Amino acid sequence: MKMKLLLMSTLALSLTSLKAQDNLAQSTIQTVLQGNQGQVIQLAEAFSEEQYDWRPSEGVSSVGEALMHVAGANYYLASKMGFPPPEDVDMMALGKISGKANIIAALKKSNAFVLEKITMVETASLNEEVDFGFAKMNKLGGLLAMMEHNGEHKGQLIAYARSNGVVPPWSK
């Protein structure tokens, strides 16, 4: 009986380990992306309402526009991998969202959406080619693009913050 229990426990542990390894790329990307997203939200919350309209120069995205660009790109990249935005998200109206609270809410919603979808990408499909419009790459590349895009705009928003006397909360 003890041997049977030990064998069953070992088998269950092995299967759990295999499943974790099966989604290793997805879970790693999800973890890094979640960290970037958290810092972008911290920056978004650190800017004042008035600073949301600030832009470094004419023709360059404002703070609010940069944040909404990230939200839109989250949905866009996920949609190209087969995950359409939620029914209550109008992609054409995202650019019209204004006000600090509304922008932060929209960004948080898009962040949660992509974090959920990342783990739904099957490991066996990671090498499938996808046309993202700006490039053709496999699904793994698409997941990495999501992560990199959020990181790129985190850097942009750090520069915007520093230009406005806002200290990134995690560096205080």
Question: Does residue 15 lie within any of the structural domains?
Answer: no
What whole-number distance in Å separates Cα of residue 156 and Cα of residue 151?
Answer: 9
Question: Does residue 9 lie within any of the structural domains?
Answer: no
Q: What is the pLDDT along the chain (172 residues), one digit of tens a residue?
A: 554 544 445 544 444 444 556 789 999 999 999 999 999 999 999 999 999 999 999 999 999 999 999 999 999 999 999 999 999 999 999 999 999 999 999 999 999 999 999 999 999 999 999 999 999 999 999 999 999 999 999 999 999 999 999 999 998 7
Question: Does residue 44 lie within any of the structural domains?
Answer: yes
What whole-number distance in Å separates Cα of residue 140 and Cα of residue 149?
Answer: 14
Question: Does residue 10 lie within any of the structural domains?
Answer: no
Cβ of 35: how many Cβ atoms within 10 Å? 14
Tell me the residue range of the domain where 74 lies: 26-171
Question: Does residue 13 lie within any of the structural domains?
Answer: no
133: CATH: 1.20.120.450
Question: Does residue 12 lie within any of the structural domains?
Answer: no
Q: Residue 154 has what pLDDT?
A: 97
- What pTM did the predictor assign? 0.86
Interacting residues of 120 by C-beta distance below 8 A, sequence separation 6+: 83
Q: Residue 22 has what pLDDT?
A: 74
Q: Residue 14 has what pLDDT?
A: 45
Question: Does residue 98 lie within any of the structural domains?
Answer: yes
Question: Does residue 149 lie within any of the structural domains?
Answer: yes
Question: How many domains, the chain?
Answer: 1
Q: Residue 172 has what pLDDT?
A: 79
